[in-house]
Structure 1
């Protein structure tokens, strides 16, 4: 049931929305139980897979390298991101409870946008790490030391928080006097801006410029890094080495294409009121598909991780 509360103010005939209704996927709502189990399995698989990456990286000293350090942070981001969005979607599918309070909605919007922005900056850092490792191997231990890794991760957090806080606060201060139905399965800035009864032209432009800066900065760094990596790989003398390197890079680029493509489609539009319905399908890629693919493509296909996982499981059996 779509329920919402309104609180009349003493200043004129204005009402303030106290709850929003997440529309979810109305076209398939009659198949709620089926989609509940599908998304539950995907959520559990992605959470367990990313949690395994974090655990194995911390437990095995052989994986205490910059590459796996960044991968473990990225996996932690993915766990937090999906846990912010998917549980509410599961409740919508299973119980049909679509309402979300005003504060909870903006907390969800802030966390998802913050983690998304930090994730893009981290992707750029991971690309630079691979560039230094492949293109400048002799200088790699000196450049990518432990202090540098911590500083880069801290910079990702700080930059994302600095860029995101202002726009989210600005959107939360808009007037919401109805309608209250968000055409999405989680609270995001674009549909919230669309629901406001204030003048949102400056807010829309701010959100557009911000998304453009975050996505393009990360994308340009990633493209430059992988372009140099590709040139270096082509110059490798062994055909087997080239095939192995290209196989790894192509897997990474598939995930990056899904992430960047879906986010550009969702956020890089001057008029955020356009195509909100289609944003839901694109958002499923970033909230369900890529978190599920990341453990497989980035780490679980790696022989070092397989060996570390087998040894950890053996130690657990022996300890019993």
Structure 2
């Protein structure tokens, strides 16, 4: 068994075991592929594989919650209602800059590795050992997408959200198994599309289309290089890097993304330098949600629509079913 170092810290072997304890996956001992001797890292391979095999075979992906639009008889907007402001769009309707920026900063080898990035794991492990802690993670975009699915399914239930985001070995193994399945089933382009539609960008905006509208009052397909880098930088910490309340931090983070894009060859160094020199230019659109924000004099009709939907069995057998559909949204009434 690995021993603790003096001072109560973890030995290099223990840190490796903690970080790579999820390596025995998919019916094969992945640790044996990643490293010459998994035993030297203290991996409980047998238990990991058994736990892995007990996980259900398919990841359940409920429809993403979106805004519901309530219109008048002439098609005019009365109100928008949502639990999460999101508009799902196709990958072709997302700026190529945005696609490149999110891949560069979150998972530069996205198109080269499978669901698990062994090189990324080893690189992160090395840096974490050098830092004496957890300085860097190694989650792929696919793993992040799976985690976001868990969070989306949890809805607004704080206990379920906490459970979906807990950093336990069991949760990590579960994420990895589903990530493998998602890679096989969807492919890279669909995973990237799903990721950009599910991710939270701050300011009540879920998905890149809602984020683009919120910060720049434009569609995601029209995002510029600088705007794309800004949004991609928000994913790590939407509150800390928000350009609305922390423009200096947001600028520094945006520039990190731009430099990363240059480093991986998505853009040239000259393009990155030119974009870095530009100040952040926002055109923030305030979110309007609920019947209270309905156009003048139409709040009653909005409330009426909501009441009919929640009480009419035509929209769901039980009150809970109807409420779930209403909160999921994506309706045009």
Q: Where on the TM-score scale, by shorter chain, does this alignment land: which range?
A: under 0.3
Considering fraction of residues, name the structure with more helix. Answer: 1
Q: TM-score, normalised by structure 2?
A: 0.26
Q: TM-score, normalised by structure 1?
A: 0.27
Q: More relative contact order in 1 or in 2 (CA 8 Å, sep 6+)? A: 1
